[in-house]
């Protein structure tokens, strides 16, 4: 298991090391980026096999029979937020594989209501099950759970951070609807800021070379800055503009959206003339916004999608919908959202099988601690010493769970220096590096560094 407490002394950024798996090696999925492209393709091949071998006799996107591969295995679902599709499709997937399920779906009836920390709960549940799916309102909660669990942890949605298995369902749907994942024109619309499904999805789309066109559902609903930055700088996709230009232009009747491409620096702000393959929409994520913050929200109906460029577009939605997607579309062949929900079962069967080594064809490499070595060095420093994660919804700031986290960051050196929270993956910029003897620590400003007895240097100067 990974170190749980902040060490007494700041630790210097360690060079990247490949983990050498021991007998206890396992694998967690807290982000879509925990899976390689090859692994995603293998999972899809297994999902397609399940549909073929165990498919419903008359409805081809549905699983209709069960197997025995997971006989004797137990899947636990630990859900601290409402869910229908994710929890039930995971449970259905485990049962279809011949396994069993245990579920804690109501935080008011679990020990969380008594103030139990997530760290304690997952250590206990690790003795009751073979694989754990967690959903939590805090960003980064899945990573914390993975640090303490001794069984594979799958993120079923953590705050506004990520929802990697929804992305697997979304990508699988794309592949089924459009035959290939490559070079698709995909419009992503809705609450780009608060939708964890979108955050995982855009990383994956960029990795599979889709042209992503962003259409925020309302004012202030653009992608979070750090997601945008990663798309641009790590996935060689294009950022959408930070302003509300898109909405304003839409309102003025000029249909302009932004095209992303895997060719950096070739951003074109262009009228959308080309044909759209996929229109992906999410609801306004009211639970991620303060009361009364809702503004006008996109409404998608037959008229909206009546334009020529959408003629062949499949419409995807992770569901639930709450008024932004007209039900009159349901009977049109382009409405893919119920098929998308149905694919949740074969895709999650494939993921469970891969994580539990039930199918040698989708074997996932295992690592000590459950994760491959990061591309970036990790830095840990005592919370009381210097900077902490700026994301207020990060698990590190939770009253009960915060004390079980470390003040831990990836050190990202690309065009300047940024610290990326180990848990929620939000970035901090404009830091000051403090040095004392051979030690370094990161501070918000020079005076904080000096006060702590460190010599301050602007991060840029250290580059
Ligand atoms: C999504 C979620 O929980 O983020 N739901 C789901 O898993 N299909 C989308 C949403 O709630 O809007």
Each residue's pLDDT tens digit, 329-338: 999 999 999 9
| pLDDT greater at residue 181 or residue 315 | 315
| pLDDT over 70 (residue 252) | no
Among residues 235, 227, 238, 241, the alpha carbon closest in space to that of 197 is found at 227
| pLDDT over 90 (residue 459) | no
Kindly give the distance from the C-alpha atom of residue 295 to the centroid of ligand 1, in angstroms, as a whole number. 20
Per-residue pLDDT at 182: 81
Residue 162 sits at the vertex; the CA angle it makes with 158 and 168, to the nearest 5 degrees, is 120
Per-residue pLDDT at 20: 56
Six-digit token string for 343: 């694919």
Residue 439's pLDDT band (cuts 50, 70, 90):
very high
Per-residue pLDDT at 434: 96
Kindly give the distance from the C-alpha atom of residue 282 to the centroid of ligand 1, in angstroms, as a whole number. 8
Tell me the whole-structure pTM to 2 decimals. Answer: 0.89
Q: How far apart are CA 55 and CA 254, in angstroms?
A: 45
Mean pLDDT (whole number) for 365-383: 95
Kindly give the distance from the C-alpha atom of residue 414 to the centroid of ligand 1, in angstroms, as a whole number. 32
Identify the residues whose C-beta falls under 6 Å from ligand 1: 85-86, 157, 163, 166, 196-197, 282-283, 285, 318-319
Phi/psi at 362 (5° precision): -120, 30
Which atom of ligand 1 is closest in space to residue 318's alpha carbon? 8
Mean pLDDT comparison of 160-169, 203-212, 241-250, highest-scoring range: 160-169
Per-residue pLDDT at 376: 96
262, with CB counted inside 10 A (0-12, 13-18, 19+), is: middle
Residue 293's pLDDT band (cuts 50, 70, 90):
confident
Produce one character per residue of 156-187: b if its CB has 16 or more CB atoms within 10 Å, e if not. bbbbbbbbbbbbbbbbbbbbbbbeebeebbbb
Mean per-residue pLDDT over the chain, rounded: 88
Mean pLDDT (whole number) for 147-174: 98
Question: Where are the extended beta strands (E) located within 196-295?
Answer: 211-216, 256-259, 268-271, 278-281
Q: How far apart are CA 256 and CA 228, in angstroms?
A: 19
| pLDDT over 80 (residue 245) | no
Residue 106's pLDDT band (cuts 50, 70, 90):
confident
Q: How far apart are CA 32 and CA 164, in angstroms?
A: 5
Per-residue pLDDT at 263: 31
Q: Is 236 a catalytic residue?
A: no
Kindly give the pairing relationship between strand 100-104 and strand 211-216. unpaired
Residue 300 sits at the vertex; the CA angle it makes with 299 and 302, to the nearest 5 degrees, is 135
Which atom of ligand 1 is closest in space to residue 196's alpha carbon? 4
Six-digit token string for 256: 């302009």
Tokens 């259409």 correspond to 215
Shortest-distance Cα residue to atom 11 of ligand 1: 320
Q: Is 56 a catalytic residue?
A: no
Q: Would you tell me how many other CB atoms lie within 10 Å of the CB of residue 17? A: 8
Six-digit token string for 419: 């610290």
Residue 180's pLDDT band (cuts 50, 70, 90):
confident
Residue 227 sits at the vertex; the CA angle it makes with 187 and 168, to the nearest 5 degrees, is 60
Q: Would you tell me how many other CB atoms lie within 10 Å of the CB of residue 265? A: 8
Mean pLDDT (whole number) for 370-386: 95
Residue 59's pLDDT band (cuts 50, 70, 90):
very high
Asked whether 2 and 408 are in contact (CB, 8 A), the reply is no
Name residue 456's beta-bridge partners: 434
| pLDDT over 70 (residue 461) | no
Asked whether 179 and 9 are in contact (CB, 8 A), the reply is no
Kindly give the distance from the C-alpha atom of residue 320 to the centroid of ligand 1, in angstroms, as a whole number. 7
Residue 21's pLDDT band (cuts 50, 70, 90):
low
Mention every residue, 6+ apart, whose C-beta is less than 8 A from residue 331. none
Residue 3's pLDDT band (cuts 50, 70, 90):
very low
Mean pLDDT (whole number) for 211-237: 92
Tokens 């889709």 correspond to 210
CA 419 to chain centre: 19
Any long-range contacts for 111-115 (C-beta under 8 Å, 24+ apart)? 112/80, 115/400
């Amino acid at each position: 298991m990974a170190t749980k407490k902040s060490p007494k002394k700041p630790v210097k950024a360690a060079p990247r090391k490949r983990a050498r798996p021991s007998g206890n090696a396992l694998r967690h999925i807290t982000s879509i980026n925990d899976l390689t492209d090859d692994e995603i393709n293998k999972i899809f091949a297994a999902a397609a096999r399940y549909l073929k071998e165990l498919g419903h006799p008359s409805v081809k996107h549905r699983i209709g029979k069960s197997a025995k591969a997971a006989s004797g295995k137990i899947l636990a679902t630990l859900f601290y937020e409402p869910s229908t599709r994710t929890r039930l499709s995971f449970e259905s997937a485990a049962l279809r594989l011949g396994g069993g399920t245990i579920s804690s779906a109501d935080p008011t009836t679990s020990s969380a209501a008594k103030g139990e920390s997530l760290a304690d709960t997952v250590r206990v549940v690790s003795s009751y099950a073979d694989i754990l799916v967690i959903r939590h309102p805090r960003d980064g909660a899945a990573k914390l759970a993975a640090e303490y669990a001794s069984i594979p942890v799958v993120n079923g949605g953590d705050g506004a951070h990520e929802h990697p298995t929804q992305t697997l369902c979304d990508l699988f749907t794309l592949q089924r609807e459009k035959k290939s994942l490559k070079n698709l024109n995909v419009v992503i619309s809705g609450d780009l800021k608060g939708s964890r499904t979108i955050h995982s999805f855009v990383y994956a789309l960029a990795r599979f070379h889709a042209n992503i066109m962003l259409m925020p559902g309302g004012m202030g609903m653009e992608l979070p800055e750090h997601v945008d930055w990663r798309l641009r700088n790590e996935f060689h996709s294009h950022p959408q503009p930070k302003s509300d230009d898109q909405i304003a232009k839409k309102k003025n009747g000029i249909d302009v959206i932004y095209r992303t491409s895997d060719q950096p620096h070739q951003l074109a702000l262009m009228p959308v003339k080309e044909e759209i393959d996929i229109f992906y929409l999410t609801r306004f994520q009211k639970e991620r916004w303060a009361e009364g913050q809702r503004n006008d929200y996109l409404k998608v109906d037959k008229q909206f999608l009546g334009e020529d460029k959408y003629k062949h577009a499949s419409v995807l939605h992770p569901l639930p919908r709450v008024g932004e997607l007209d039900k009159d579309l349901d009977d049109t062949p382009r409405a893919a959202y119920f098929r998308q929900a149905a694919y949740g079962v074969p895709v999650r069967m494939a993921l469970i099988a891969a994580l539990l080594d039930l199918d040698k064809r989708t074997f996932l490499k295992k690592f000590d601690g459950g994760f491959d070595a990061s591309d970036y060095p990790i830095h840990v420093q005592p919370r009381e010493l210097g900077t902490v994660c700026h994301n207020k919804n990060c698990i590190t700031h939770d009253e009960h769970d915060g004390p079980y986290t470390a003040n831990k960051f990836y050190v990202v050196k690309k065009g300047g220096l940024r610290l990326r929270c180990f848990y929620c993956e939000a970035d901090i910029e404009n830091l000051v590096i403090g040095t004392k003897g051979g030690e370094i620590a990161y501070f918000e400003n020079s005076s904080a560094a000096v006060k702590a007895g460190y010599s301050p240097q602007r991060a840029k100067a250290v580059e």
